[in-house]
Amino acid sequence: MCGAGGSLRSSRGKCMDVDQDVVLLHQFQRGKYCPNLSPYALKVEAFLRLADIKYEVDTKKPFGPKGKCPWITINGEDVADSQFILEHLTERFNVKIDNRLGQQKAASLEAVRILADEHLFWCVVTWRYWLDGCVTFLKSQSFPPKLHRAFPLFMKRGMKRRAKHHGIGLHSPEQIYHICRKDCATLASILGEDDFFGGDEPCTSDCSVFGQLAQLMWNAPGSHYQALLTETYPNLDRYCHRMKDRVFPDWDQLLDPPQ
């Protein structure tokens, strides 16, 4: 485990100089147009910023104790799964960004979060890695040339297996797009002309929705999936830019290469 402050060692042996109460966010490397290819990593990073929690980023060990990205280390303790991370941090730092939501609104927003994190996600990654064979996605990443060749081979096969196991992969490409479009239509109707899903200010569920929609908005350049926001549901397009400006004013500097 760790000493008090200074150098923290998590249970996975990661050693990095991080102060007490500073979150070490383990995630993938930055992308060309969006700071992360993982919707869940972007969700956690957005939350850390909204909640004003100090953090540093590690990209050397993106996969955590549950074999997924992202995960965090705080004061020597590892926490995996984006939702558990947000709940852990909310308690640890007494985060109040959802306090102004009534019980009914908070419950509706939890349903919105689940739609984004557990439903929309599967449409996007099934298309990204399997149906489209990573072609569009790779345009949004600054991977080294060697990885550009190996990545699609590896991801396409793995994603096909996972998507079929999940069930989404049993549908045709048209049906998967149809499901994705319906998810976007639902989100667009719920958002309406509000600035954020939380209303005038972003709330915790906004982090999830933004993390997922950002994948369509910035990591699917020129595709019919991106067009769901840029053409079909422009209030979601405006929402993505509003969240970007509000939460990531340094977005361009985070990109690889920085803009």
Ligand X SMILES: N[C@@H](CCC(=O)N[C@@H](CS)C(=O)NCC(=O)O)C(=O)O
Residues with Cβ within 8 Å of 159's Cβ and at least 6 positions away in sequence, in order, are 125, 126, 128, 129, 130, 169
Which lies closer to ligand X via its Cβ, residue 25 or residue 229? 25
Binding region for ligand X (CB under 6 A) out of 6-14, 33-41, 168-176, 197-205: 33-41
Neighbours of 244 (CB within 10 A): 19
Which lies closer to ligand X via its Cβ, residue 83 or residue 90? 83
Q: In the numeric block, which tokens belong to residue 28?
A: 């993938």
Q: How far is CA 82 from the centre of its chain?
A: 9
Question: Does 83 help bind ligand X (rule: CB under 6 A)?
Answer: yes
Which lies closer to ligand X via its Cβ, residue 84 or residue 245? 84
Which lies closer to ligand X via its Cβ, residue 117 or residue 188? 117
Tell me the site size for ligand X, rule CB under 6 A.
Answer: 9
The answer to whether the beta carbons of residues 127 and 176 sit under 8 Å apart is yes
**Rounded CA separation 253/259 (Å):** 6
Binding region for ligand X (CB under 6 A) out of 78-86, 177-185, 193-201, 246-254: 78-86
Of positions 10, 26, 40, 136, contacts ligand X by CB under 6 A: 40
Q: How far is CA 35 from the centre of its chain?
A: 10
Question: Does 90 help bind ligand X (rule: CB under 6 A)?
Answer: no
Which lies closer to ligand X via its Cβ, residue 69 or residue 97? 69
**Rounded CA separation 254/180 (Å):** 28
Question: Does 205 help bind ligand X (rule: CB under 6 A)?
Answer: no
How near is the Cβ of 245 to ligand X at its closest, in Å?
A: 24
Of positions 73, 75, 82, 226, contacts ligand X by CB under 6 A: 82
Binding region for ligand X (CB under 6 A) out of 5-13, 36-44, 146-154, 241-249: 36-44
The answer to whether the beta carbons of residues 20 and 75 sit under 8 Å apart is yes
The answer to whether the beta carbons of residues 173 and 131 sit under 8 Å apart is yes
Which lies closer to ligand X via its Cβ, residue 57 or residue 188? 57
DSSP helix/strand/coil, 77: strand
Binding region for ligand X (CB under 6 A) out of 1-9, 77-85, 180-188, 224-232: 77-85
Query: Phi and psi at residue 23, in whole multiples of 5°?
Result: -80, 135
Of positions 9, 12, 49, 68, contacts ligand X by CB under 6 A: 68
Q: In the numeric block, which tokens belong to residue 25?
A: 């966010």
Neighbours of 211 (CB within 10 A): 26
Binding site for ligand X (CB under 6 A): 38-40, 67-69, 81-83
